[in-house]
């Protein structure tokens, strides 16, 4: 898989906010891989230029509560964590509380923190959540995430580099690796039509068959597909190519990135 393929999928996931849908859940994507696999680079390449995508390394509940209004208003439609594992570098009860709020953001909606008066009227905040995680944290936390329902709300994308030494080669040559970032195009009407055929829906369902969740990952991959069809309406072969390259990342064997 080329780096641009992963960046295109992450970009389309952000655009999924505009897809016509009776399903309000946004879902999320977790990039899983060993240290040095450039998870942070891919996240920044996909979202740094989007004014309504917020890239963070960490967050706590006190920071999330004031951010809620910006999520409700649509100022931010995506929150991306370059190091999602930082959420777990604190007391387990604290990290579980933050995890619970993030879990709500991607599905049923985040209304109030536990310390706020539950009688207050408030709107539900939702957004796409993207995170980069080392495989060790994923392995240690997976059973817990499966039991709590956290795992079923995300697409789990496993990546590795075909030749990690190319990073050292780039440093030796004193040249940045070309990421060939995706073109940033925002719908002028804030609307992307849902136009997935039954055959396409079956194909997309197969893409996520090895994911721990059934509903939210399936909804998200269909919205991603709609965003790609809208963005590349004149390049159906390119869309097919992107999905073919990305598909292994959603399997237990993972995908390989060719730098």
The confidence score (pLDDT) of residue 181 equals 75
The confidence score (pLDDT) of residue 176 equals 85
The confidence score (pLDDT) of residue 120 equals 65
Q: How far apart are CA 176 and CA 163, in angstroms?
A: 16
Q: How far apart are CA 105 and CA 91, in angstroms?
A: 22
The confidence score (pLDDT) of residue 117 equals 55
The confidence score (pLDDT) of residue 11 equals 97
Q: Token pair of 153, please?
A: 């709300």
Q: How far apart are CA 175 and CA 162, in angstroms?
A: 19
Q: Are 159 and 36 in contact (CB under 8 A)?
A: no
Q: How far apart are CA 87 and CA 208, in angstroms?
A: 26
Can you give the pTM of this predicted structure?
0.94
The confidence score (pLDDT) of residue 186 equals 84
Q: Token pair of 243, please?
A: 């999905």
Q: How many CA atoms lie within 13 A of 4 on its CB side?
A: 10
CB within 8 Å of 58: residues ≥ 6 apart: 81, 83, 86, 87
Q: pLDDT 10s per residue in the chain (259 long)?
A: 999 999 999 999 999 999 999 999 999 999 999 999 999 999 999 999 999 999 999 898 888 888 999 999 999 999 999 999 999 998 888 899 899 999 999 999 988 776 665 666 678 999 999 999 999 999 999 999 999 999 999 999 999 999 999 999 999 999 988 877 777 888 888 899 999 999 999 999 999 999 999 999 999 999 999 999 999 999 999 999 999 999 999 999 999 999 8
């Amino acid at each position: 898989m080329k780096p641009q393929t992963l960046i295109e999928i992450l970009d389309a996931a952000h655009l999924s906010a505009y897809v016509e849908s009776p399903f309000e859940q946004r879902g999320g994507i977790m990039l899983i891989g060993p240290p040095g696999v450039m998870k942070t680079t891919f996240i920044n390449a996909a979202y740094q230029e989007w004014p309504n995508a917020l890239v963070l390394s960490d967050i706590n509940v006190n920071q999330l509560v004031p951010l809620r209004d910006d999520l409700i208003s649509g100022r931010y439609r995506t929150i991306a964590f370059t190091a999602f594992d930082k959420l777990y570098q604190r007391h387990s009860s604290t990290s579980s509380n933050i995890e619970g709020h993030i879990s709500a953001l991607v599905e049923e909606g985040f209304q109030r923190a536990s310390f706020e008066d539950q009688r207050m009227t408030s709107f539900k905040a939702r957004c796409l959540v993207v995170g980069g995680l080392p495989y060790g944290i994923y392995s240690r936390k997976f059973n817990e995430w499966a039991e709590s329902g956290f795992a079923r709300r995300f697409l789990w994308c496993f990546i590795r580099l075909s030749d990690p030494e190319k990073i050292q080669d780039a440093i030796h040559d004193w040249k940045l690796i070309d990421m060939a970032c995706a073109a940033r195009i925002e719908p002028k009407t804030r609307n992307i039509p849902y136009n997935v055929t039954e055959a396409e829906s079956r194909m997309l369902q197969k893409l996520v068959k090895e994911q721990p969740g059934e509903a939210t990952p399936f909804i998200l991959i269909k919205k991603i597909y709609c965003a790609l069809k809208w963005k590349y309406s004149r390049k159906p072969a390119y869309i097919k190519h992107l999905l073919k390259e990305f598909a292994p990342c959603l399997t237990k064997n993972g995908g390989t990135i060719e730098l």
